[in-house]
Amino acid sequence: MSWINWVLLAVLITGFIFFLYGANIYNSIFGYSGIYLSIGAIAAYLIHYIYKELNKKASD
């Protein structure tokens, strides 16, 4: 795994923990920030993966 995958995994886990923490203490700021961090990490991973695949195909 590359360093970008480790960073995105850490952001995804942090977002999930924020979501659970916000749900447990009824704090919407933590809950929504956790949701947005998780969605952002997944979107960034997909963008990175698609970009890598497109560059691989273009160089052939």
Domain limits, the chain: 3-58
Q: Which of 4, 8, 5 is nearest to 37 (CA)?
A: 8
Q: What is the pLDDT of residue 56?
A: 81
Per-residue pLDDT tens, the chain, 60 aa: give them.
788 889 999 999 999 999 998 888 888 888 899 999 999 999 999 999 999 888 887 655
Give the relative orientation of helices 28-58 and 3-25 as an angle to the nearest 10 degrees. 160
Q: What is the pLDDT of residue 38?
A: 94
Q: What is the pLDDT of residue 59?
A: 59
Alpha helices in the chain (DSSP H): 3-25, 28-58
Pairwise CA distance, residues 56 & 38, whole Å: 27
User: CA angle 39-40-44, nearest 5°?
Assistant: 120
